[in-house]
Structure 1
Amino acid sequence: MPILEVHLVEGTHTSTQHTELLRTLSVRYAELLEAPVERVRAYLTLHRPEHWVVGGEPGKAAPYFTALMLEGRPAEQRARVLGALTDIVVDVLGVERRDVRGRIIQVPPEDWGIGGVPASAARRDEIAARSAS
């Protein structure tokens, strides 16, 4: 399930940075969740500068990301995810750490589909093992 959404202002970073950001975020997210990288989906949405305002300033480079994961991950793991993903955004894009925002959305396994089957069934053993730890 792991999904990463990244939102940036169009024209503030290069396409090479975009690719590196998505690749690096994907690999690190998989490591942090102890999941195969093949399960990670990451995408980037670029916003026109006039459609992005931070603190009243149009077009300010202030990246935002969302990490979706199945519900039940421990708080300390979620904190590591937020910190590590922020580190990557700062390193790859060269932005100020204080300008990066991120959030985690936990999705109940019965509300996430994998090949048309709820994750609660498709990943039953993994979910049970995570709950037991």
Structure 2
Amino acid sequence: MPIAHIHVLAGHPRPVLKQLLREASAAFAQALDAPPERLQVWITEVDPELYAIAGEPADEVLARTPRAQAEIPLIRMALMEGRSTETLHRVMAALSATTARVLGGDPQRVRVQIDHVHPDRWAIGGVPASQARAAELARRAAGQGG
């Protein structure tokens, strides 16, 4: 169920974005100690003419400022409730560092938001996760992974 949605300004080369998908997925899985096949990572490119940096259209800012000094990537994650604060901090740090490194920016400019989802508010095939994965959630709560 873990999802990471990375928002960046349009204009990065496609191979760089594909590399970000690969590396962010690996960092996400490692930081969460989760199977990679359970994770989803996607990138949304935002039109610089429709994005403001300090109240000014980003295309105008980028005309005079290097991208790495102007862009502020945003990573929004949806994670099932129940992970420790340490785990949340680890995943925020890992995805921030990976995003900055792959895009050639400063990790201090990356922003991360984690939205917790209660297992009764996430469905798998129309069945609440609280029911569909009850055994898995019990293992996780007991610290046995899953």
Give the TM-score taking structure 1 as reference length. Answer: 0.92
Q: Deviations over 1:27-68 (max 9, x none)?
A: 221122222111111111111111111222422421111111
Give the TM-score taking structure 2 as reference length. Answer: 0.84
Q: What residue in structure 1 maps to residue 57 of structure 2?
A: 58
Amino acid at match of 2:83: R
SS of structure 1 residue aligned to 2:105: coil
Amino acid at match of 1:56: G
Unaligned runs of 5+ in 2: 59-69
Out of 61, 75, 92, which is 2:102 matched to?
Answer: 92
CA distance in 2, matches of 1:115, 1:24: 28
Task: Give yes or no for the alignment of 1:17 onto 2:16.
Answer: yes
Q: What residue in structure 1 maps to residue 37 of structure 2?
A: 38
Q: What residue in structure 1 maps to residue 128 of structure 2?
A: 118
Q: 1:75, CA displacement in angstroms?
A: 0.4
CA distance in 1, matches of 2:86, 2:18: 28
Identity level (%): 40
Aligned length: 132
Task: Give yes or no for the alignment of 1:3 onto 2:3.
Answer: yes
Structure 1: which 4+ aligned runs deviate by more than 6 Å? Answer: none
CA distance in 2, matches of 1:34, 1:84: 12
Unaligned runs of 5+ in 1: none
Looking at CA atoms only, which structure, 1 or 2, has the larger radius of gyration? 2
